[in-house]
Structure formats: structure tokens, C-alpha cells
Amino acid sequence: MFGYRFIRRERPLPGGQVAAFAAGVLIALLVGAVLLVASGNDPFEAYAKMFDASFGSWRALSTTLTRAVPLGLAGLAVAVAGTMGLWNIGAEGQIIAGAIGAAWIARLGPDLAGPILIPAMLIAAIAGGAILALGPALARARLGVNEIITTLMLNEVAIRVVRYLVNGPWKDPEGQGFPIAPVLPEQSRLPDFFSRANIGVLIAAFVLLIFGYYASRSRWGYELKIAGSSAEAAKYVGVSLKAKILTVLVLSGAIAGLAGGIELTGSADRLVEGVANGWGYAGIIVAALALMRPSGVAAVAVAFGAVQVGGLAIQTLGVPAAISDIIQALILFGALSAAVFSTYKLTRGGLGAAEPTGQDEDARATV
């Protein structure tokens, strides 16, 4: 169509991941400037306000990092599965399951000391997310059921479970009729790190660092890529495809569950219906911007968190909330478009053009 086609490059352009994200940000800012001018706002003032609110002080930086924690862990959950060519669309529900598990432990041991209670809550959160992912993992590994459908459907199940709990057996009798659980014990809160940030930032950074390293430099990560690229290749090198699918999806759910545990013990003070706050769906965007590479999730999460914090800040200037949402969406589309050009090259393919052969033929995609 139109006489052009994309052909996969023999090697992706150097620094393609970083360049793609930078290009996405640049495109978003340029288009966002047009929207700001059209709405009667000064783009320079708005962007200066965004930067100041996100990075202009230690307090601002702590806010950005706090926002980046659930984004990064949810993005990592999606990216870990994506490394093997799988899609975990259920991070939202797994975050909720993790928060439920953490809240359950707090209810069982409200008088436990913080050094015992907090780790127990986080372990329960990891287990909650893993359990919710276990069903889709078994269905995909044993029966070949599409994990996109099953993980997405379980989001609704998790939402209904937490709704039942906060409206039923866990409802706060002093909540004036609101669907909320009782306030968590004071000792269940994560210790402060600096300013508004707690040590959940360090926990998330450690998890992101470990998985980023192992996904790119270990045998485990290599086997994931092999298993995701070709079932025959995986079989040839002795990798059990079913075992890898099961392990990766459960691990993905566990990471998302940890995000729910950190959110409950850090930013929240009780279990509510909206405890996931859309982090699971935002994690899909973060993973996509990182090109499904766990090593790139942390940087993207911080940048995306900064955009979200800055987007809220510019509303004080009278900028419509929709514009900040549009800027976030433009970053995604801009980065993904740039990523396409770092992996493929656009060539003229009209009449009389030579047809590619060999690997080029397999990689060709017409547009």
C-alpha cells in the first residue's frame, strides 16, 4: 500500500530504546505546546511548572519517586511476561490481590511489631498477586488458553472481591457508611526514606535492578527470550516451554502483588475499593515505553511519574486536566513510533522494486 514497506534492520539502531523514549517525549512536548497555546496557556510557563513540581526540590523528587514505585513494579510485571512474548493484562487485579493479602495479615496480627508485621504483609502481598496469576498461567501452559483474556477477566474478579470485603466483613464500623476497611496499625507503615518518600522506593529499586540484570545478562533471561521467540528453538536447547510460561506469569503476578503491598503499607492507610488506582493499566504503558525490557522500566517509570505529577501541578495554572492526559498518551505513541523506526527501515516498494530475499522476506511488513 502507498508503495512503501517496513523491512527489519539487521541490527536495531544503537541506543534505540533511549532514543525512542526521548523522541516520544519531544513529540509529546511539541504537540502539547500547540494544545496549550490553543487553550490560552503559556507552554513555557506550564512546562516550567511541570519540571518544578516533579524535580524542582527534594520534596518534589520524593513525590515523583513515590508515584514511580507502583508504576515501575506494575511495568516490570508486564515486561517480565513480555520478555517471553506473553501479555499480563491483569496487573491491576494482581495489585488489588496483593493489597488484600497485606491487609489480611494486618487484621490477623494487629499487635505485631513493625519489623515482623511489615515483611509479613509484603510476603502476603507477593503471594496474593502470584495466586491470582496462577490460574491464567496454568491455563496458558497446560491448555494453551490466551493469557490476555484470562488475566484481564480476573481484574474484574479482584475488583468485586475487594468491593465485597470493604462493604461486608471488613467494613469499618466507624467509617460513616463509606466502603472502607479500618485504618491499618501504625506500625504497619513503611519507614520514611526522605521527605515524602518511604523505603518502598528502595525496595522497588532493588527489585527493578535485580530483574533488569537477570533479564539481560543471565541464563534465565536468555532462556526466556529463546522460549518466547520459538517453541522449536526452546525445545532444541532443552528449555521447557510449559515450565517457563508457568514460572514467568506467576512471577509477573507476584511483582504486581508486591506493588499492592507497598502501596498499602506506604501511601495508603487502609484498604479501599480504588487501592490499585489504575497502576496496573498504567504499567502496560510503562512496559511498552520500555520496549518490554525490564532494564528500561525504572527510567521510564520515573519519567512517566514526573509527567503525572507535573500534569497535576499545571492544573493550578488553569490548564485543563485533559491536556496532561493527552501529553501522557502522546509520549506513548511518539515513543512507540520512534521504536518502530529503530527496528525497521521504511523503503520504497513500488513497481519494479527488487524484492527482498532470505531473512528480509520473513521480516517484511507492508503498510
In tens, the pLDDT along 323-342 reads 777 877 777 777 777 767 77
Integer Cα distance of 207 and 202 in angstroms: 9
Could you tell me whether strands 344-348 and 365-366 are parallel, antiparallel, or unpaired per DSSP bridges? Answer: unpaired
The confidence score (pLDDT) of residue 128 equals: 97
Integer Cα distance of 179 and 159 in angstroms: 13
Question: Cβ distance 22 to 341 under 8 Å?
Answer: no
The confidence score (pLDDT) of residue 303 equals: 87
In tens, the pLDDT along 116-155 reads 999 999 999 999 999 999 999 999 999 999 999 999 999 9
Question: Does residue 274 carry a pLDDT above 50?
Answer: yes
Question: Does residue 353 carry a pLDDT above 60?
Answer: no
In tens, the pLDDT along 211-250 reads 988 887 888 888 888 887 777 777 777 788 888 999 999 9
Q: Number of helices (H) and strands (E) in the chain: give both, helices first.
A: 14, 5
Joined grid coordinates for residue 75: 511495568
Question: Cβ distance 253 to 261 under 8 Å?
Answer: no
Integer Cα distance of 23 and 19 in angstroms: 6
User: Residue 33: which H helix or E strand, with range?
Assistant: helix 16-38
The confidence score (pLDDT) of residue 323 equals: 79
The confidence score (pLDDT) of residue 13 equals: 66
Question: Where in the chain does DSSP place strands (E)?
Answer: 4-8, 192-194, 197-198, 344-348, 365-366
CB-count exposure of residue 3 (10 Å: 0-12, 13-18, 19+): exposed
Question: DSSP readout, 227-293?
Answer: HHH-HHHHHHTT--HHHHHHHHHHHHHHHHHHHHHHHHHTT-SS-BTTTTTTHHHHHHHHHHHTTT-
Phi, psi of 129 (to 5 degrees): -65, -40
- pLDDT mean across residues, the chain: 86
Higher pLDDT, 311 or 70: 70
Question: Does residue 17 carry a pLDDT above 60?
Answer: yes
The confidence score (pLDDT) of residue 322 equals: 80
On the CB side of 205, how many CA atoms lie within 13 Å of its CA?
A: 11
Q: How confident is the model at residue 367 (pLDDT cuts 50, 70, 90)?
A: very low
The confidence score (pLDDT) of residue 138 equals: 96
The confidence score (pLDDT) of residue 7 equals: 82
Q: How confident is the model at residue 308 (pLDDT cuts 50, 70, 90)?
A: confident
Distance of CA 350 to the CA centre of its chain: 41
Percent of the chain scored above 90 by pLDDT? 53
In tens, the pLDDT along 45-70 reads 999 999 999 999 999 999 999 999 99
Q: How many CB atoms lie within 10 A of CB 306?
A: 22
Q: How confident is the model at residue 103 (pLDDT cuts 50, 70, 90)?
A: very high
The confidence score (pLDDT) of residue 275 equals: 92
